[in-house]
Amino acid sequence: MKKVAFGILNQLNRRLLPSLLKRDPNQLKGYEKAILGFRYWVLINYLKAKDLNA
């Protein structure tokens, strides 16, 4: 269940939220840091859930 939920969130992140790959994290604005943190949180939880089900 967790794998499916975080998989969907991960797909939405990749399609809807901006990529901040080439930006320096120290120079991001507050809301951009929040987006980056959310994307990181979803990715880590998705990978953990994927690893548990493997």
pLDDT tens digits, 1-54: 888 999 999 999 999 988 888 889 899 999 999 999 999 999 999 999 988 876
C-alpha dihedral, 34 to 40 to 45 to 47, nearest 10°: 160
Global pTM reads: 0.83
N-terminal to C-terminal alpha carbon distance within the chain: 13
Q: What is the reported pLDDT for 19?
A: 84
Q: What is the reported pLDDT for 54?
A: 61
Tokens of 40: 């990181």
- Summarize pLDDT for 27-37 with one digit per residue, the tens: 999 999 999 99
Tokens of 3: 């794998």
